[in-house]
């Protein structure tokens, strides 16, 4: 199953992991339909016209359709009122046909993101961003786990990457990736029990920490930020970044690169996720997973 690209380096592709999980989800979705007449349904809210967010939202709804789940999208103008948005969310909280609610981030600067995420029912918070769900995660009893970190755990599991007792270094402290990743890796959960160091923009001498990593997780949003001089031999690298950089040889005029300088690090690492095709395919699959879990629970409430 593993793709060996040199004597030492394993390419941690997301597609086979995603396929494996989607096969399991397909039978769960069928069972919900046949036995309980339930179709898992996601409501997506997007505010404004950020092109990257529009691409992500389209991919999410397409994946739901492909898996024969339902989705509805609320595409709202950037100047939409915060209290009107909260009213929509409260309506979705009460709608028994809706199992998951996702507010695409980032929201326009005029909106209070925290207030809006807190309006989503924790029982339909399939992004795992509500403070109650973050609390459950850090208490060691996760309910909805944020999709990208959860997808990373699945990759580590699928490719048998050891975390128990290892030193995991996370670069980036976002609420979407870095912080929940810390929660998952540091506790005695599946693929956890690591000693975890969290690095961020305030970290002095980043290389000092990244060189110590057995497992390096990078989510900075800065293209090719991590170079081979910053890592040790045999590190396992998870690159969360998806950055567009100019490429005049490509018909599109750009190419996608990660936060890790892939060509530069590949010889030294034990394993590495490619960009695109590494962590990317996992995020939407874990969103489907959380929505199916929610639908299974709603049915017995």
User: What residues does 199 pair with on adjacent strands?
Assistant: 171
Q: Is 276 exposed, middle or buried (0-12, 13-18, 19+ CB in 10 A)?
A: middle
The C-alpha atoms of residue 274 and residue 11 are separated, in whole angstroms, by 7
- Of the listed 104, 187, 214, 224, which one is catalytic? 104
Cβ neighbours of residue 205 closer than 8 Å, sequence gap 6 or more: none
CA dist 86 and 89 (Å) reads 5
Among 63, 98, 103, 293, binds ligand GUN (CB under 6 A): 103
- By CB under 6 A, tell whether 240 contacts ligand GUN: no
Shorter beta-carbon distance to ligand GUN: residue 153 or 213? 153
Strand segments (E) across the chain: 3-4, 10-11, 41-47, 70-76, 100-103, 167-171, 195-199, 215-218, 236-239, 243-246, 254-257, 271-272
Candidate segments 69-77, 99-107, 137-145, 266-274, binder of ligand GUN by CB under 6 A: 99-107
104 in active site: yes
Sheet arrangement for strand 41-47: 70-76, 41-47, 100-103
58 half-sphere exposure, CB direction, 13 A CA radius: 7
Residue 115 annotated in active site:
no
Q: What residues numbered 128-187 form the site for ligand GUN, per CB under 6 A?
A: 147-148, 176
Q: Which is nearer to ligand GUN, 149 or 192 (CB)?
A: 149
Residue 151, helix vs strand vs coil: helix
Out of 105, 213, 226, 292, which residue is the one contacting ligand GUN (CB under 6 A)?
A: 105
Closest contact distance (angstroms) between CB of 129 and ligand GUN is 7
Find the binder of ligand GUN among 102, 145, 198, 292 (CB under 6 A): 102
Closest CA to 240 of 216, 259, 213: 259
Q: Which of 13, 60, 124, 179 is catalytic?
A: 60
| Residue of the chain from 9, 18, 71, 104 that contacts ligand GUN (CB under 6 A) | 104
Catalytic annotation present for 212: no
In the complex with ligand GUN, which residue's Cβ is closer, 9 or 174? 174
User: Residues binding ligand GUN: what is the number (CB under 6 A)?
Assistant: 9
Residue of this chain nearest to ligand GUN (CB atom): 105
Nearer to ligand GUN, 102 or 184 (CB): 102
Q: How far is the CB of 21 from ligand GUN (least distance, A)?
A: 16
Tokens matching residue 113: 């993101």
Q: Which of 41, 123, 125, 127 binds ligand GUN (CB under 6 A)?
A: 127
Residues with a catalytic annotation lie at: 60, 104, 127
- Interface residues with ligand GUN (CB under 6 A) are 102-105, 127, 147-148, 176, 283
């Amino acid at each position: 199953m593993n793709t060996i690209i040199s004597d030492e380096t394993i390419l941690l592709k997301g597609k086979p992991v995603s396929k494996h999980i989607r096969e399991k989800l397909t039978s769960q979705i069928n069972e919900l339909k046949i036995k309980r007449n339930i179709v898992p349904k996601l409501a997506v809210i997007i505010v404004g016209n950020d092109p990257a967010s529009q691409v992500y939202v389209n991919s999410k709804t397409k994946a739901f359709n492909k898996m024969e789940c339902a989705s509805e999208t609320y595409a709202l103008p950037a100047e939409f009122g915060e209290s009107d948005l909260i009213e929509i969310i409260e309506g979705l909280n009460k709608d028994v046909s809706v199992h998951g609610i996702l507010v695409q981030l980032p929201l326009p600067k005029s909106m209070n993101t925290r207030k809006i995420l807190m309006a989503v029912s924790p029982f339909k918070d399939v992004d795992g961003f509500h403070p109650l769900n973050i609390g459950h995660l850090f208490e060691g009893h996760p309910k909805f786990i944020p999709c990208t970190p959860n997808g990373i755990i699945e990759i580590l599991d699928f490719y048998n990457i050891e975390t128990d007792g290892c030193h995991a270094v996370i670069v980036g402290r976002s609420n979407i990736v870095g912080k929940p990743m810390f929660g998952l890796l540091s506790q005695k959960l599946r693929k956890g029990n690591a000693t975890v160091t969290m690095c961020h923009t305030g970290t002095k001498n980043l290389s000092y920490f990244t060189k110590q990593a057995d497992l390096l997780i990078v989510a900075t949003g800065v293209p090719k930020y991590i170079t081979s001089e910053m890592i040790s031999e045999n590190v396992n690298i998870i690159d969360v970044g998806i950055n567009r950089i100019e490429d005049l040889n490509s018909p599109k005029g750009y190419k996608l690169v990660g936060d890790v300088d892939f060509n530069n690090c590949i010889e030294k690492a034990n394993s590495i996720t490619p960009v695109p095709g590494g962590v990317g395919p996992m995020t939407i699959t874990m969103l489907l997973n959380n929505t199916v879990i929610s639908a299974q629970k709603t049915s017995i409430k």
